């Protein structure tokens, strides 16, 4: 592998790691928001927030799983 290709590969791995870290941080944020509201939301707004945060959290978890698989398959090459 040439130095340029090796550098590109290292850059791609670094970017993939950053993407994974960003998504993990987003999941943690939404989990914290849900925790702050608690198990028994007091207002319709809080109920809507929880519903929205859970949907976003699920989408982010799916994206995170996909990125981890991509990262894992790229590191095996």
Q: What pTM did the predictor assign? A: 0.69
Per-residue confidence (pLDDT) for residue 51, from 0 to 100: 94
User: What single string gives the DSSP state of each residue in 3-65?
Assistant: HHHHHHHHHHHHHHHHHHHHHHHHHHHHHHHHHHH-SS--SHHHHHHHHHHHHHHHHHHHHHH
- pLDDT tens figures, 6-34: 655 777 777 778 888 999 999 999 999 99
pLDDT-derived band at 73, boundaries 50, 70, 90:
confident
Q: What is the mean pLDDT of the chain?
A: 84
Average pLDDT, integer, range 37-44? 92
State the pLDDT at residue 8.
52
């Amino acid at each position: 592998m040439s130095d340029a290709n090796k550098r590109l590969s290292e850059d791609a791995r670094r970017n993939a790691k950053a993407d994974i870290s960003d998504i993990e941080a987003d999941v943690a944020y939404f989990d914290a928001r849900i925790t702050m509201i608690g198990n028994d939301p007091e207002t319709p707004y809080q109920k809507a927030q929880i519903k929205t945060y859970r949907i976003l959290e699920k989408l982010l978890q799916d994206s995170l799983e996909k990125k981890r698989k991509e990262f894992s398959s790229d590191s095996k090459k």
